[in-house]
Amino acid sequence: MQLFSAADSSLKTFLTDLVKEKHGASIATDTLEEFCNDLSPRLEQWITTKMLTEIAKNSETDLQTLQKMTEEDKSKEEVSAFIQSKIPDMSAFLAQSLLAFRQAYLGTT
């Protein structure tokens, strides 16, 4: 389930900064790009898992509805609208998910 584009500039900036924080600002450009390309699907999976967990925690029926939407290949916009209707403060939720990903990647708590 692809909820956001890997090319999204905010997420690309987040990943770039994260890799530089872990490996140093002087990391070679091609290595930086390779690490970011490797991390991008991992970040997407992380956020997807967090969203599914949050939706399931609140309603098993909503989770089943979401699964059915993806099986029926509903549009990205429809799926995103459904998720946002089930996770009230999406901005805070995403910020918390990104922070948790950062901590996991950097090995901090």
**Structural domain includes residue 1:** no
Residue 64 covered by a domain: yes
- 75 in a domain, yes or no? yes
pLDDT digits (tens, 9 = 90+) for 92-107: 999 999 999 999 999 9
| This model's pTM is above 0.85 | no
In a domain, 88, yes or no: yes
Contacts of 13 (CB under 8 A, 6+ apart): none
**pLDDT tens per residue across span 4-22:** 554 477 888 999 999 999 9
| Amino acid identity for residue 61 in this structure | T
Task: Tell whether 3 is covered by a domain.
Answer: no
Whether 99 is in a domain gets the answer yes
CA–CA distance, 3 with 21 (Å, rounded to integer):
26
Within a domain: residue 4? Answer: no
Host domain of residue 54 = 9-106
How many domains does the chain divide into?
1
Q: 1 pLDDT exceeds 90? A: no
Kindly state whether residue 60 falls inside one of the protein's structural domains: yes
- Which 3 state secondary structure label does DSSP give 108? coil
Q: In the structure, what pLDDT confidence band is assigned to residue 109 with cuts at 50, 70 and 90?
A: low
